[in-house]
């Protein structure tokens, strides 16, 4: 597909999905317009055959890229979607350090992976639901892995963080971190033992992109939970 900023973008989301939040935050940071479509998670719409044609893993998010006169293309992994946006919109605000700064780019990706590859897969709802089915304390399970991941993140940035996780610009690492902290908050895991993460998180939450990207600021968030951000 020819890469063009004229592509129309659609993002399939669920308001409480941390993976969907990453792409939502990336789009907002880059000021790229798109159409959000809420997936009905409780009805397991994302497990249906129609959705699976776009996202064979049956998970959210899915970024749909529609170029004029072509068939839509589906990006069914959040990090791949963010990297696509990074490459397809080179003039938009970036989420990675400059191209020549290979080690800093690797640092950002490593932090993103602590959240997206080490933490999220073991606390994903399909895992938690299975644990509940077999009578395991699923909350304690999630808390355990969240504390581990926040510890790894803290130790990775303690000496090197700037205003944000890597330096003073928001990166893909921060985009992954904030939704993971929202999940920690929902599970009663505090950041008291992770002071650098806590400071970075507070700086992120001062930004409009993160305030407006919160779970309870989304249009598909039920009324009783919704914030007026």
Q: Which of 14-22, 140-148, 158-166, 197-205 is the region at the interface with ligand GSH (rule: CB under 6 A)?
A: 14-22
Contact between 116 and ligand GSH per CB under 6 A: yes
Residue numbers 41-80 binding ligand GSH by CB under 6 A: 46, 58-60, 77-79
Q: Which long-range contacts (CB under 8 A, 24 or more apart) does 136-142 make?
A: 139/187, 139/188, 142/183, 142/187
Total number of residues that touch ligand GSH (CB under 6 A) = 14
- Among 9, 13, 19, 96, interactor with ligand GSH by CB under 6 A: 19
Q: Is 79 helix (H, G, I), strand (E, B) or coil?
A: helix
- Among 124, 143, 169, 198, interactor with ligand GSH by CB under 6 A: 124
> Which C-beta is closer to ligand GSH: that of 165 or that of 183?
183
Residue numbers 161-190 binding ligand GSH by CB under 6 A: none
CA distance 203 to 210: 10
Compute the CA torsion angle 217, 221, 224, 229 (nearest 10 deg).
10
Give me the phi and psi of 211, to 5 degrees please. Answer: -60, -45
- Among 7, 18, 196, 218, interactor with ligand GSH by CB under 6 A: 18
Q: Distance between terminal CA atoms of the chain? A: 37
Closest residue to ligand GSH using C-beta atoms: 59
| Residue 18 DSSP code | H
Structure tokens at 166: 């890597």
Contact between 126 and ligand GSH per CB under 6 A: yes
> Which C-beta is closer to ligand GSH: that of 51 or that of 210?
51
> Which C-beta is closer to ligand GSH: that of 15 or that of 89?
15
> In 117-212, where do the E strands start and end?
none
> Which C-beta is closer to ligand GSH: that of 182 or that of 203?
182
Q: Which of 16-24, 27-35, 145-153, 213-221 is the region at the interface with ligand GSH (rule: CB under 6 A)?
A: 16-24
CA distance 229 to 219: 11
Closest CA to 108 of 11, 200, 209, 211: 200
By the criterion CB under 6 A, which residues form the site for ligand GSH?
A: 17-19, 46, 58-60, 77-79, 116, 124-126
């Amino acid at each position: 597909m020819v890469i063009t900023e004229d592509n129309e973008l659609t993002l399939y989301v669920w308001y409480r999905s941390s993976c969907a939040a990453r792409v939502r935050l990336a789009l907002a940071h880059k000021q790229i317009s798109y159409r959000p479509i809420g997936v009905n998670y409780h009805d397991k719409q994302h497990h249906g055959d129609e959705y699976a044609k776009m996202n064979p893993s049956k998970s959210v998010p899915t970024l749909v890229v529609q170029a004029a006169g072509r068939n839509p293309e589906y990006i069914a992994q959040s990090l791949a979607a963010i990297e696509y946006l990074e490459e397809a919109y080179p003039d938009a605000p970036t989420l990675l350090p400059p191209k020549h700064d290979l080690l800093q780019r690797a640092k950002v990706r490593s932090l993103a992976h602590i959240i997206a590859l080490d933490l999220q897969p073991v606390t994903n709802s399909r895992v938690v639901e299975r644990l509940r089915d077999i009578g395991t304390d699923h909350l304690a399970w999630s808390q355990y892995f969240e504390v581990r991941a926040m510890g790894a993140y803290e130790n990775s940035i303690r000496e090197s963080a700037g205003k944000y996780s890597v330096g003073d610009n928001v990166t893909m690492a921060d985009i992954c971190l904030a939704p993971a902290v929202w999940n920690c908050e929902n599970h009663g895991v505090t950041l008291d033992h992770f002071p650098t993460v806590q400071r970075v998180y507070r700086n992120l939450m001062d930004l409009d992109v993160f305030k407006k990207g919160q779970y309870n600021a989304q249009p598909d968030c039920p009324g009783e939970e919704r914030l007026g951000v």
